[in-house]
Chains A and B, each alone.
Chain A
Amino acid sequence: MATVSQNFMKLFRGSSGRTPADAPDVAQKLTRRSSGLGELARLWESETPLCVLDLGSTSPSNIRFFTERSHKIYSEDLLVASTEAHLVTKDEQGNVVLDSRRFLADNLVYPAAHFDVVLCWNLPDYLDESLVRPVMGRLWSVLKPGGMLLAFFHTKDAGPDSPCYRFHIVNKDTLEMQRIVLRRETRRGPTGAVHTAVSDGFRLQRVFNNRHIETLFRDFASIKFFLARDNVREVLVVR
C-alpha cells in the first residue's frame, strides 16, 4: 500500500511522464494530511453552529462531517458553474473571456458576512483567469470578519495537466482526494448510436507564486502558508 507521502507525489506531480496505464482510476481515492484543515479543526468543535461554504464538487462526506456537528453547510460547485456556455463573451480587446458579472449574478449570492469558513480547495488554480479576482472579492465580502478561507495552490513543479481533484473530509486533518472526470451530455450520433462524451476534467490554468497569492488575498487580514511535500501550498487566510 502506498504511503500518504507517496500518494502526495503521485497526485501533484502532474501528468508529465505518466502513461494512461498508471493514471489514477476515476473511482480511486487517495488520502493526504492537510495542515490547513488541521488548523481549522478547533472551529468544528464549536458549540455555536457555524456556516461553512464548500466550493468543491458536492461531497456527501463533507456534508455528513459538518451536519453531524450541527453546522450548516452550503455546497456550490463553482468550477462546474464556470462551464456554463452563456458566460462566454469578449473583452474590449476582442479576447474570449468569461463574463464575471453574470457569473456573480448567478453564483455566490449570499448576504455579506454570512460564512465562518470557506473551503476553496484548489479552485483558484483551475478557475478561468477572468473569474479569479472577482470571485475572491466576493468571497471576502461573504466571509464574516475573522472568518477563514482555506485554499490549495500548486507549486511551479506542477504540470499543466495536473489532475483536478475533489476533496472529501475524512477527519480533522485528513482528506480523501478523488479525481474529477466531467461527464458531457449524452448525444445520439449520425448512426443513431448513443454517445456519452467524457472529458478529462479541468485543466490547471496557472501556477501562482507566493507574491501572486499574497496579492490575491491582499484585502484579508492575515495569511498563513503551509508547505507540503507534494508540490502544493495550503493557504489559510483570515478576513
Chain B
Amino acid sequence: MSAPLSADLAQIGKSVVIKGELSGSEDLYVDGQVEGTIALKGNSLTVGPHGQVRASVEAKGVVVQGKLEGNVQASDRVELRKSAVVTGDISTQRISIEEGAYLKGKVDIQGKSEKAAGK
C-alpha cells in the first residue's frame, strides 16, 4: 500500500529510521521506523502498514495501520485499522477501531470542554 500523494504530506519511507524529536505543520505518513517524539499539533499522523513508531505522539488526527508503541494524544480523532498494533494510552475526542486491531492501553475520550480545561 502506498501513501496518498499530497503537497502537504511528508513521508517517511520503509527503509528510513529516525531517532529523535519530530515536529511539523504538515501531515506526516510514516512507513519506516521512528523512535522519540512526534508533535504535529494541527496536523495528522498516519502510521503505514510497515511503520514502526516508538514515540509519544501529539497530533490532530492519528491513523494507525502498523505498529505504534507510546502514548497518543489526538485533539480530534484516532483510527486503528485492522492491522494496527498499539501499546500505549490514547486520549482523543473520537476513536474508531476496526475489528482485528490490537490495543494494550487506556482509551480516554475527552470532550472539547475537558481539552480546553487541560484535564
Contacts and interface: CB of A to CB of B under 8 A. Distances in A.
Interface of A: 58, 60, 63, 66-67, 70, 72-77, 80-81
A63 B95 contact: yes
Interface stretch (B9-17, B35-43, B65-73, B96-104): B96-104
Interface string B77-103: 000000000000000000111110111
A37 B106 CA distance: 21
Q: Which secondary structure dominates chain B's binding surface?
A: strand
A201 B99 CA distance: 17
A72 B91 CA distance: 10
A63 B97 contact: yes
Contact of B106 (A60, A74, A80, A81): A74
A183 to B, nearest CB: 9
Interface residues of B, number: 14
A155 to B, nearest CB: 30
B109 interface: yes
B108 interface: yes
Contacts of A73: 106-107
B24 interface: no
Most chain A CB neighbours (cut-off 10 Å) among B96, B99, B103: B103
Q: Which secondary structure dominates chain A's binding surface?
A: mixed
Contacts of B98: 60
Nearest to B98: A60
B27 to A, nearest CB: 25
B81 to A, nearest CB: 12
A58 B103 contact: yes
12 contacts: A60-B96, A60-B97, A60-B98, A63-B95, A63-B103, A72-B106, A72-B107, A74-B106, A75-B106, A77-B102, A77-B104, A81-B104
B108 to A, nearest CB: 5
Contacts of A76: 104-105
Contacts of A67: 95, 107, 109
B107 A70 contact: no
Contacts of A58: 97, 101-103
A81 B85 CA distance: 13
Contacts of A81: 104
A121 B56 CA distance: 31
Contacts of A74: 105-107
A154 to B, nearest CB: 26
B97 A70 contact: no
A63 B107 contact: yes
Nearest to A68: B109
A65 B105 CA distance: 16
A13 B96 CA distance: 35
A75 B107 CA distance: 8
Contacts of A75: 103-107
A66 B101 CA distance: 18
